[in-house]
Structure formats: structure tokens, C-alpha cells
A and B are shown apart, each in its own frame.
Chain A
Amino acid sequence: MSVVAAELLKLRRSWSTPILIGILALVELLLGYLLIYLIAQVPPPPGEPAFGEALLLTLRPENFVSNVLNMLASLGGALALVLGAMHSAREYGWRTISTILTQGPTRLAVLAAKAAALAVVVVVMVLVTFAMGAIGTSVVAGLQGKPIAFPAVGEIASGVVVGCLIVGAWAAVGFALGFLLRSTGLAIGLGLVYALVIESVIQGLATINETIEAISRGLLGANGTALASSFGPDAVADQFGVVGIDPPVAAAVLAGYIVVALGAAALVFARRDVTT
């Protein structure tokens, strides 16, 4: 436990942790609520159906779990990947990997402690985003003069768990990339290229070929989005475009990403010489 405490101390002292969490919280408020609320106020062009009410529906307290999860599955995932990559790769950049490996704990114990500390930050990230979502939806409900009626506690708790699974999978992939590549820039760069480009291309091509479609169903982002969209009313889910993946399957795939990422990191970290 003392090694986990050391890792948490490092994460607490690092500027990147509060900045990444802060960015997510701020974007959740500004883009997830304020921007959509403002767009909903714009009258539709003549002859076009009104869309404001549908948009406002997504901002209501009963939909806030779905709203927050969609933010976590998109921006949250990318930021978690950055956080995970920095958490592992920076040890090589600063050469502190030698410092910590010569203190006594085994390599697997070091990796487990780092992963546990990262998991704590992931939980904090998810909770802060949910808190921001709760504030945002409450303000919107107040502005609309609607009652503030949050979903049942069980649904919110499930949402937090799912959020942790989605963000944790991205963080684990970043964490593993950091250990595999031993370069913060390279790990973040390749991770974001995958998240922002490769996934989009594959999903875009999924409709033209069955093989590509099958591949797209195994993508990290697709499964995160599918799981996030399984919360909330059907109207909201339809609007965001649900990928046809059953939630239990999506959850299993995300858990698989975590296991495989940590396993690969452990395999490489335990065997490879440390020459930095």
C-alpha cells in the first residue's frame, strides 16, 4: 500500500492530473450543457421542424447519466489515454524508472501500484464529470423552470461504474502504450491517432464491408459509445446513434481491453532491460 501511496503522491503533485480532469469538467459544462442550451434557443429556419425541444430533452436531469457517459466515452476517453500514457512513459523520460526500481518492490508490484493509483484518478475523473453534469443539468432545469428530478440512485451508481469502465479502458491503453513505447510523446501521439483517426475511418467504412463491420464492433471507442448510449430514454440513445453492440458485450470488450493492456504492459515491463 505504501507504494500505491507514493504513486498517488506523484499524481497529486503533477500539474497534468488536475489540468486533465479540469479540462474534462469544463468541457462537460461548456459543450455538454451551455453550448447545447444556447443552440436550442435558436429558432429553426422557416419551414424546418423545431429541434430545440429535442436538444433540451437531452439536458434534463433524467438524462444526465447518459449525457455524462457520452462525454466520458468521447473526450473523457482521449484525456484518460493521455493521462495513462503520461503516468507510465514519463518515468522513462525523467529516468526515474531506475530510481523506483532500485528501492525494493518487484517490477510487477511497481506496475500494479501504478495501475492502482491510475485507477483512483480515473474514479475521481468520472466522479468530477458526474458532479459537473449534475450542476449543468440542474442549472438548465432551473432556467427552464422544470423540476429537478434525477434518475434513481441505482442508475447513477451504474452510470458511475460504466463511466469508470469506459475511461479505465482508455487509461489502461494509454498506460500500456507508455510502457511499450517508453516515450510520452509517441505514446500520446499514437494513442490519439488511433482514437481520433483510425477508429473513425474503420467505423466510417463499416457499412460497406462485413469484415470491417465486424472489426468495428471490437473497437474501444465503439464499445464505449455503445455502453454509454445504453443509458437514458430511447429518444436520447437514438439521437446519438447507437452502435449495434449489446451493453453486456460492450462491457466485456472494455474489460478485455483493460486486461490485455495491463497484461501486455506487465509482460514487457517485467522482462525488458532498463537502460535509461
Chain B
Amino acid sequence: MSQALDGASAVIETHDLTKRYGSRQLALDGLNLTVRPGEVYGLIGPNGAGKTTFLRLILGLIRPTRGEATVLGQPAGASASLRQLGAVVEVPAFYPFMSGNDNLMVVARYSGHDPARIPAALERVGLADRGRDKVGGYSMGMRQRLGLAAAFLKDPQLYLLDEPTNGLDPHGIAAMRGIIRDLANEGRTVLLSSHLLAEVEAVCDRIGIIHHGHLLREETMGEMRGIGRLRIVATPADRAEEVLRAQPGVAAVERVDGALLVSTDAGNAAALNRALVAAGVEVSELRVTARTLEEAFMSLTGEPAGPAGAMGS
């Protein structure tokens, strides 16, 4: 994964970003979010959480009800920033009566980039031999890859990828992860929006969890997992549980298969061990069990994840 540049000016920055549709639906509520140069940022949340609304605001497709957003130092939607970013939002939309080549020609002419890059962009996403076929005959996965090719065409510093593995087969998903890692290694900034937690966990440096239009937490992957659990096997267990519950920084203690699972920061492990020993409890096992992103998400939102780490339907 890439090294995020702490302290560097933000690639995307939002202040109090709010979007209300009509008088009732509050899609985003006071979002303060920062994406730093060179990082792969994962924006996760269930369907309807506000992820796509956020991306549409960043792209200038919709206007905020309140607040502001800057992208690459420009107001969101400004021509200068749009020319420097590649976006794949939902399933990329193309002209079905035109070939992949011609669709990329439209993008090149619209964005002011060199159409000579089209063959290389198609090659990179594995569509070189289908470039002359009409997009109307493309599968969903092929359209997804064509969307990525359109982004490559601009050779941008910032990629906005909304559910980029939609419609891809397992090979395609693996290839997409490789592409995202390559982009990170090249120093590009990637904002990846997804409800597939395993996908985000595999490639992202930092995570923002969005739920009902609110940004619940924004942390590095390590920090997100760090608020993990300690697995402690101690005797007598009742006394150990009593001691642990009394310690500062312990959020919860539960018994699982004879062990105590303590929800706390991993950095508290030594202090808890000392407290147990001082109380006359014999500690036979103490180890950190890092949370998965799914567990972190569930604890923050109170919503279960779907099958295979997918949220929502």
C-alpha cells in the first residue's frame, strides 16, 4: 500500500458538506472528510448511506445544500479539477451504438486529452481486442473496465472509483485490486467507495465510514483494527472478569469458549495484565485479536454485514 503523506495539502477536503433532496431526504449531513495525496481512501457504508451522493458532489454533478468541497485545490466540479481526475461512478455510462474506441474518443475530446492514448488504455484493462465492438454488446464487467480505461486516458492524479468491482468475475476483481495497488504505487490518490468490506480492507490505507449521511469515523486501517479485542485466558475467570471490567479503557468483556474477549485498545494489554496479576489472577494467555473491518463497521453502525462482507442488498 502507498504511504499517505501526513500534513500534505488535501486532495479532497470537505467542510460541513450537506445535501438534502427536497424537504425530507437528508442524503449527507455535515460531512467533514479529508483525502490526502497518495493514499487509497476507502469510503464504506451500506447502500443508501450517502456514498454516491458524496461522489456526485465531488464531481459537481449535484450542488451542496450547505458546506463546501475542494478537489485538487479547486471547488468541486471546477473544470480544472475535473480534467485531472478519473471517475468511475456506479456502472459507467457509454453510448451503446458506438464502439469502445469511439466512446473513448468522445471522452478524449471532451477532456482535452490525446486520443493517441486510447489503445494503451484499452490494453491496460484487457479490452484491446474488443475496442471496435459496439458498447451495447458489452457485459457489465466490460463496461466497468471501459470506465476505468476512460479514467486512464486522462492519466489523472486522482481516481474516484465507485463500486469498481461491480459486475466483475473473480479474475476481474483480482485484476481490479492489482490495478488499484499499482495506482497507489505510482503515487496516485484513489478514493474507493464500496459496500464490499473485504475489497476495501484489501487495498485501502485509510477508511471513512459513512452511515445515514454522517461520517462516523475516519481512521487509518491500522487504527480501525486497533480498537480491537484482547483474548485473555485467566483463572479464576469470574475474578478476572470482575477486575477487567473495572479497568479504564475497557469497553466490554464477554466470555467465549472459556476465554475472555476484552474490547479495548491493544495498547492496554500490558496494563490489564499487571492489574490481573496484582489481583491474584493467573494469566495463561493474553493476545491481541485484531478486528476485521466488518467487525469494526458493525460495532460503529450497529448493523450486520451481509454475506461475504457485503452490506445492504
Question: Which A residues lie at the B interface, using CB under 8 A?
Answer: 2-3, 5-6, 9-10, 13-15, 94-96, 98-106, 273-275
Residues of A within 8 Å of B95, CB to CB, are 10, 13, 94, 96
Residues of B within 8 Å of A10, CB to CB, are 95, 98, 106
Q: Which residues B16-68 have CB closer than 8 A to chain A? A: 56, 59-63
A104-B98 in contact (CB<8A): no
A98-B93 in contact (CB<8A): yes
Minimal Cβ-Cβ distance residue in A for B151: A102
29 pairs, CB–CB < 8 Å, chain A vs chain B: A2-B109, A3-B110, A5-B109, A6-B105, A6-B109, A9-B102, A9-B105, A10-B95, A10-B98, A13-B97, A94-B93, A94-B96, A98-B56, A98-B59, A98-B93, A99-B93, A99-B150, A100-B106, A101-B59, A103-B82, A103-B83, A103-B110, A104-B110, A104-B111, A273-B56, A273-B62, A274-B61, A274-B62, A275-B62
Q: Which residues B90-113 have CB closer than 8 A to chain A? A: 92-98, 102, 105-107, 109-112
Bound-complex Cα distance A274 to B57 (A): 10
Q: Decide if B89 is an interface residue (CB 8 Å cutoff).
A: yes
Bound-complex Cα distance A15 to B59 (A): 31
Bound-complex Cα distance A105 to B106 (A): 12
Given known pairs A2-B112, A103-B83, A275-B56, the reply for A95 and B106 (CB within 8 Å) is no
Whole-angstrom distance from the CB of B172 to the nearest CB of chain A?
21
Given known pairs A104-B111, A104-B112, the reply for A98 and B60 (CB within 8 Å) is no
B60-A101 in contact (CB<8A): yes
Q: Decide if B87 is an interface residue (CB 8 Å cutoff).
A: yes
Q: Decide if B268 is an interface residue (CB 8 Å cutoff).
A: no
B61-A13 in contact (CB<8A): no
Bound-complex Cα distance A15 to B97 (A): 8
Bound-complex Cα distance A2 to B110 (A): 7
State the 5 A-B residue pairs at the shortest beta-carbon distance, nearest first.
Answer: A103-B110, A95-B93, A6-B109, A273-B62, A104-B83
Residues of A within 8 Å of B102, CB to CB, are 9, 13
A98-B111 in contact (CB<8A): no
Q: Decide if B79 is an interface residue (CB 8 Å cutoff).
A: yes
Q: What would 14 more interface pairs be, CB under 8 Å, given A6-B110, A105-B79?
A: A2-B109, A2-B110, A3-B109, A6-B109, A9-B109, A94-B93, A94-B94, A94-B96, A96-B93, A99-B93, A102-B87, A104-B110, A105-B110, A274-B61
Our pick among B89, B106, B107, B112 for the contact of A98 (Cβ within 8 Å) is B89
Residues of A within 8 Å of B89, CB to CB, are 98, 102
Bound-complex Cα distance A94 to B106 (A): 15
Residues of A within 8 Å of B87, CB to CB, are 102
Bound-complex Cα distance A5 to B60 (A): 24
Bound-complex Cα distance A100 to B62 (A): 14
Which of B79, B93, B102 has the most CB atoms of chain A within a 10 A radius of its CB?
Answer: B93
Whole-angstrom distance from the CB of A255 to the nearest CB of chain B?
30
Minimal Cβ-Cβ distance residue in B for A276: B93
B61-A101 in contact (CB<8A): yes
Residues of A within 8 Å of B59, CB to CB, are 98, 101-102
Bound-complex Cα distance A101 to B62 (A): 11
Whole-angstrom distance from the CB of B57 to the nearest CB of chain A?
10
Residues of B within 8 Å of A98, CB to CB, are 56, 59, 61, 89, 93
Q: Which residues B173-197 have CB closer than 8 A to chain A? A: none
A273-B109 in contact (CB<8A): no
Bound-complex Cα distance A101 to B127 (A): 24
Whole-angstrom distance from the CB of B9 to the nearest CB of chain A?
22
Residues of B within 8 Å of A14, CB to CB, are 97
Minimal Cβ-Cβ distance residue in A for B107: A103
Bound-complex Cα distance A133 to B60 (A): 48
Residues of B within 8 Å of A5, CB to CB, are 109
Whole-angstrom distance from the CB of A4 to the nearest CB of chain B?
9
Bound-complex Cα distance A220 to B109 (A): 35
Our pick among A6, A101, A106, A273 for the contact of B106 (Cβ within 8 Å) is A6
Residues of B within 8 Å of A273, CB to CB, are 56, 61-63
Bound-complex Cα distance A274 to B83 (A): 18
Whole-angstrom distance from the CB of B108 to the nearest CB of chain A?
8
Given known pairs A13-B97, A274-B62, A275-B56, the reply for A104 and B109 (CB within 8 Å) is no
